[in-house]
Amino acid sequence: MGSMIMPPRFIAQQLSHPKGLLGRVVGYLMNKHNAKMNAFVVEQLELTATDRVLDIGFGGGAALPALLARAGFVGGVDRSRDMVEAARARFACNVASGQAAFREGTVEALPFEGAAFGKVCTVNTVYFWHSLDAGFAEIHRVLAPGGRVVVGFLPKQHMDRMQMPPDIFTPRATEDVTTAITRAGFSRVSIERPQPSTVWNVVVASR
């Protein structure tokens, strides 16, 4: 049994940049593990049928069906080519109809034009950003004035217990995320949780 347990470094690598079959397996397992956070993030977006929403680091695509069901257009960015190709295949009809576009890229250099979206979400990706300031500056750029950003993550005090390799995984304290998002020019920053006992945070802010 011990040989079947995936080491933290392998898990961290696959979460950071999923590749191949094992990357899809890890993505599937994380989709199940993060189902409640994804659902809560989608709820906090307050989507309408005319909204254009961007999902950054969509990975296994856990939130994509809900986004496609509620929004007029869904953009997706992931730095894993395998995940982008999988999303294009899975949602080929949405791509063909012009309702969806999935592109390879990073949060620090989003492959979309300025003010292209009214809503942006990202779940469990801030640990892999090279810079919170650069990431939120790019999100600010692609959001239209009055737009909303929703960021879900597990705070540092809980993430540290997982002992992920620090060269791949950077745990983020809640105040680091809220400070960076405010510094990027966002306002009305709040921290939302479905229950007071919920260990993960969802930061909501306005452009």
> What average pLDDT values come out for the chain (207 residues) when binned by 10 residues?
48 55 52 78 97 95 95 96 93 98 96 98 93 97 98 88 72 95 97 92 97
Q: Are strands 100-104 and 117-123 parallel, antiparallel or unpaired?
A: unpaired
pTM: 0.83
Can you tell me the distance from the alpha carbon of 68 to that of 75, in angstroms, rounded to the nearest whole number? 10
Q: What is the pLDDT of residue 161?
A: 74
Q: What is the 3-state secondary structure (H, E, C) of 7-43?
A: CHHHHHHHHHCCCHHHHHHHHHHHHHHCHHHHHHHHH
Q: Are strands 201-206 and 143-153 parallel, antiparallel or unpaired?
A: antiparallel
Q: Which whole-number Å values give the CA distances from 157 to 59, 153, 171, 182, 202, in the listed order?
A: 24, 12, 8, 22, 15
Q: Is 188 exposed, middle or buried (0-12, 13-18, 19+ CB in 10 A)?
A: exposed
Q: What is the pLDDT of residue 168?
A: 74
Can you tell me the distance from the alpha carbon of 17 to that of 171, in angstroms, rounded to the nearest whole number? 17
Q: What is the pLDDT of residue 4?
A: 42
Q: Domain spanning 2-206 has what CATH number?
A: 3.40.50.150
Q: What is the pLDDT of residue 52?
A: 98
Cβ neighbours for 61, distance < 8 A, ≥ 6 positions apart: 27, 31, 76, 83, 86, 87, 90, 91
Can you tell me the distance from the alpha carbon of 70 to that of 4, in angstroms, rounded to the nearest whole number? 39
State the sign of the Cα–Cα–Cα–Cα dihedral 92, 95, 99, 104.
Answer: positive
Cβ neighbours for 4, distance < 8 A, ≥ 6 positions apart: none
CB 62 within 8 A of CB 35: yes
SS3 203: strand
